[in-house]
Structures are given as structure tokens and as C-alpha cells.
Amino acid sequence: MQTAHLTIDPAFRVAPVRRRTFGTFVEHLGRCVYEGIYEPGHPGADDDGFRRDVLDLTRELGVSTVRYPGGNFVSGYRWEDGIGPKSGRPRRLDLAWHSTETNEVGVDEFMRWCRKAGVEPMMAVNLGTRGIAEALDLLEYCNHPSGTALSDLRIANGAKEPHGIRMWCLGNEMDGPWQTGHKTAREYGRLAAETARAMRTMDRDLELVACGSSGSSMPTFGAWEATVLEETYDVVDYISCHAYYEEKNGDLGSFLACSTDMEYFIRSVVATADHVGARLKSRKKIDISFDEWNVWYLSRFQSAETPNDWPVAPPLLEDHYHLADAVAFGGLLITLLRNSDRVTAASLAQLVNVIAPIMTEPGGRAWRQTTFHPFAQASRYAIGDVLRVEPVSPLYETAEYGEVPLLHAVATRSDEGVTLFAVNRSTDAPLSLEIDARALAGARITAATTLTDTDVYARNTADAPDRIAPRANTDVEHDPMRVLLPPVSWNVIHLA
């Protein structure tokens, strides 16, 4: 049996755990909004038409922030369509997802949902087909107390108090030719900078996110960030990263190591941002908002034919996740936590039905996908400070990333103790993990859970919603500082 070792020491502190790491994303895409968070005809809907079961699962998931309303959708969105009496709201063609948008849910409904879910909103503005004036109008509508045309319109629409939205995305994926209003880095950087300056004139306490690259494989990656930050460095707080991963051609080993690419992505963007800051002679540090990340079988979507009609809320991007997806997903979460010194916000894309941890049936049940569990456990147990652990682990060869460690891990520490999050990437063998915690004054393993199955492609369904769920790892009963990690597993280990 192969063995890995790691040391947990409070001196290896990275940064505080950032609660915004546990953000998600609600886009007007497929069944995320309609039949997802909102279904007024559902037997469990509340008076506002929101599904109570989805609200309950959102709270259980431990979501901190929610990014809205897109995504690609935002680059053609007219926010004014989604306010006021629903009977007067226009139906529009959504070019991003070849759908019809009814605008039954808009900014005020979303804010009501956020309050019920107990989450912080993160609003995106349209810098694809619109610009500075429309961004300022939305900001005034949302955040100004009263006494102006738009703030009084919000009050007339039933929202007496300002929405008080602090985080704003300056457009979405403007580097992508698929984006409505796609721009060069210089064009976007200038527009984002002028929009940011104008928004800060109205509200100086905003936190603003500039669009970074839509993936590390983009041909403009690196150069895009450098150019955009040359224009925006002094007026934004974050640069965004987006990344999705999938198993390709049956290469499970590479897929389980996909966090290797996320690590490269983060380090490259940090280096670029700091280089621009040095050139500008600025002591300010730009953080990363990793505001789209997930396992997504994008190749399936790209190979699908575009429909001839324009349906309302069609089932799109409804990936049904298996165990291996959840383990790769857990590895991505570990990487986000390991980089908490610079990744200070993140958004899992998305929350419901669309490449999501929560699935629903129209008029029926809601259930947890396999990916629900790593996110919920990390959100619940990752508190206090992030501690870097550098495992001494056996390596294995991957076609995509070369040699990578079998063990991927991070720890967090608070007054309640230490929690270790660990993934065993081995596809066929358990891994014995030995923990050195001498610096923790005699701490011992008190409990451990594992997410695993004999079938790495086993899924949860509405009829079998708990096939894949965390189970107690009873192996810890045999040795207080060693635990056996099953193959293809996500593990949470508590020490006190």
C-alpha cells in the first residue's frame, strides 16, 4: 500500500478563510431561474413564487454570495425589462442561450430571494451591448436611498430600502468571441475603467471586478490581463478567472488532476497583476474573483445543434454528476482555499439545474447532486485560517499534466480545531495518509468522513438521492494519526 505524509502547523498560515470563496451563480440560462429558484406553480412555492425546497438546499449548501444575472446572458440584458408590474414586462430574445426571456424575475425579485436565502448579491452590468449610462442607472436604482427618479421608482416597485449591493462585475467574458459585444483587451479595458470611475463617483465603497480571461487556454491569456489591468488597475479591486473541466476520452487520471491547471491559472494571473502593479509603481494588490468554476461537459454542449425555435427556460447544460466529478470538484475547492491570500471571492457556476449541485423536477422533487457534498462540507468546516500543507506523496503520470501527486490537500484552523480536506486521486488503490500534528499540542483525529463508491461513475437521482453522500471513515479508529483514503475519494478529517 502506498503512503503519503503531511505536516499541519499553525505557522504555515496562508490567509483567513474567505467566506466569499463559497459563492455561487444564478444566470438566466436554461432552468436555473425558471423551474429552479422560481416556480410559482410548484406546490412548495412561497408567496413570491420561490421554491422553498431550493431555498432550504441553498442554505444547507452554505452559499455566501450569488452572482447575477450572467454570464453570457448579461451582455444582451436590459435590466429595466425586469422591474415593475409583471404584466407589463416585455418578452425578449436571449441571443446568448437561444431562448425567450419572460422577465418574470428581475433585480427586485432576485434581491428578495437573496434575503430569504441569506446570501450576498453580486451584480453584473452589461458592457456588451450597453455601457456607462446603463450601469449608472442600475446602480442608482439599486443603491441610492431615495429622492431621484430611479431610486423612487424602486420604492414604487415595492423596495423601500436600497438593495445595498457592494460587489459588481464589469461585464462578462469580454475576451470571448462568443460574447455579444466582444471587444479587444484595450477596448474593454477603457470601457471598464470609465464605467468604474463613474460608478465610484456615485458610490465610493463599491467592490469592482474587471473581466479576466475566460480560461487559461484562451489565445489572449496573459496579454488580456496585462492590457486590461493597465487601464483599470487603480479603479478595480478584482480581476476575474473562469475555468471549467471535464473528463476527456476516458482519461480519468488527468481529469482528477485538473486542479493542476487551476493552480497554474491562479499563479499566472497573480504574477501578471503584480507585474502591472510594479510597472505602475502601485502598492495596491489586485485580488482574484474566480467567479465561474465547475466541472462542465462543455464538449457535449458544443456538439449539440442549435434549435430552430426560441423556447422559454429549455433544459440546457443539465450535467448529471457522478462520484469522479465530485472528487475532481473537491480538488478544485482545495486549490481555491490553498490560494486564499489572493483568491478572495469565487462563484460556483451554477446553483440549480444548470451544471449545478442542486437539481429539480418541474412541479416535483429537488435533490443533491454528488458535487453538493464537497461544497457543503467545505463551506461548513473551513473556518478560521487556511494552513498550507505540502504533502509528501507518491506521484502518478497523467497524459495532460505529467507527474502529479496522488494526494491533494489543504487544512483550516480555528478555535474549534483543525479540519483537513484531502483528495486521493488514485483510480485503483487506497492511500494511507500519516499526519504529523506535533505543532498542535497533541491534537488527534477525532472524526473523518469520505465521499466514495465502488463505482466511480455512480450518480445521485431523484429516486436515489443519497447514493453518493459522505460516510464515516471508521479506519481512524485504529490509529489516531493515520487514515486510509479510498481510491477516487474526497475526505474531510477533523483534529482536536
Residues 241 and 286 sit within 8 Å (Cβ to Cβ): no
> Which cell goes with 377?
462540507
Terminal C-alpha separation, the chain = 27
d(CA 483, CA 205): 47
Cβ atoms of residues 17 and 380 within 8 Å = no
Q: Per DSSP, what are the bridge partners of residue 29?
A: none
**Cβ neighbour number for residue 473 with a 10 Å cutoff:** 21
User: Which residue in 39, 134, 263, 292 is the catalytic one?
Assistant: 292
Name the active-site residue from 27, 80, 101, 173: 173
Helices 107-117 and 132-143 pack at an angle, to 10 degrees, of 50
The vertex-215 CA angle with 209 and 217, nearest 5°, equals 150
| Alpha carbons 493 and 435: distance in angstroms, whole number | 10
CB 470 within 8 A of CB 421: no
Can you tell me the distance from the alpha carbon of 309 to that of 319, in angstroms, rounded to the nearest whole number?
A: 22
Where do the H-state alpha helices sit in 21-106? Answer: 52-61
Task: Give SS3 for 360.
Answer: strand
Cell representation of residue 62 = 452554505
From the list 212, 227, 228, the residue with the least C-alpha distance to 269 is 212
Strands across the sheet with 2-7, in order?
2-7, 431-436, 482-485
Residue 18 three-state SS = coil
**Residue 292 a catalytic site member:** yes
Beta-strand ranges (E) seen in 303-443 are: 343-349, 358-360, 366-368, 385-387, 395-398, 402-405, 407-414, 417-424, 431-436
Nearest Cα residue to 222 out of 179, 257, 181, 265: 265
Please count the CA atoms within 13 angstroms of the CA of 481 that sit on its side-chain side: 13
Alpha-carbon span 257 to 423, nearest angstrom: 10
Per-residue CA distances from 298 to 32, 246, 294, 301, 317 (Å): 17, 7, 11, 5, 8
Asked if 173 is an active-site residue, the reply is yes
Q: Which helix (H) or strand (E) holds 168?
A: strand 167-170
For residue 71, whether the previous peptide bond is cis, meaning omega lies within 30 degrees of 0, is yes
Alpha-carbon distance 418 to 445, whole Å?
A: 9
Distance CA 112, CA 52 (A): 13
Query: In 3D, which of 411, 122, 408 has the Cα closest to residue 292?
Result: 122
Residues with a catalytic annotation lie at 173, 292
